[in-house]
Structure 1
Amino acid sequence: MKNLESAISKYHSIKIKHILPPPKTMPVLCFDSKIMEVLEILKTRHHVWVIDCKEDGKLIGVIRYLDVINFLMPPEKHSMFIGNSKKAFVSAFSGAETAGDVMEKSAVTINHEKTVLESLEKMKNYNLQLLAVVNDENRLIGEISLRILINKFLELCF
């Protein structure tokens, strides 16, 4: 049991930047990328990070797999609730053409200097399994998922 306690303590203090997968493995598109490029990525991934390529990779949004439902449905089939964003009105039928047209602007981020424990807390607070990892200039440098965190924990235990 002592080894497990030691592993957990060490695990919680690891900085995110030390366990990030290579950036080239991330699904990333520019704000002005065509919607068909988004759909191509979403055939095999659960999300696409949207960056401003003119601002050297500044993160501006995310498109999740389930967000495509809104894009594919005609606007009259969308359920509307008080507080709905313009996203509910964006579909192939209403002229959405780029990643920027369909992205969610409130991607949850975490700074690369934060720890595993801070990542877990943020995931729990926002009920997410994935966070965008940004540097001090809010540029996307990686992503941290619950799967990555589980793998790192198991690596420390065995």
Structure 2
Amino acid sequence: MSNKRKLFHFAEIKTFSNVTEVGYKEVLNKTHPLRGKWNEMVFKNDHDIVLELGCGKGEYSLGMSRRYPNKNFIGMDIKGSRIWRGARTALDESMENVHFLRCRIDFLESMFSTDEVSEIWLTFPDPQAPKSKERKRLTSNRFLDKYLGVLKKGGHLNLKTDSD
């Protein structure tokens, strides 16, 4: 993707009603206004929240939101140019049960309160092969602890991978 198109996407997602971009001050202080209030402020219902981490272009979040209209889906990724595609599709199709969050997964607990998420999906996470990158793996203990911090009791963590 050209830098010009990327810059266009970065600018455009700032105008999308279905994308939340996060400032570092809010996440470091755990003061983001949506923390604990996603259903109330974004979805305006009390349906279960399903979170897809590292959502990329949001294909999985979009597909699941079509299939399960009585659940709320949040696709989370740091790459704004990727999120743009999913967010644009959701807006074009008037999908109200899917939202996108541009934020590092490290800040998951700053964006969601304890017991706020019913289900988490890790779809084809980057295996971060070298041993030196083990801490960056979305399946490392460091991240698993973060997931437990926001999952409801009895919630599910789903892993879909093609790696051994």
- Given the two structures, how large is their TM-score scaled by the length of structure 2? 0.24
- Given the two structures, how large is their TM-score scaled by the length of structure 1? 0.25
Larger Rg: 1
- Between structures 1 and 2, the one with greater helix share: 1
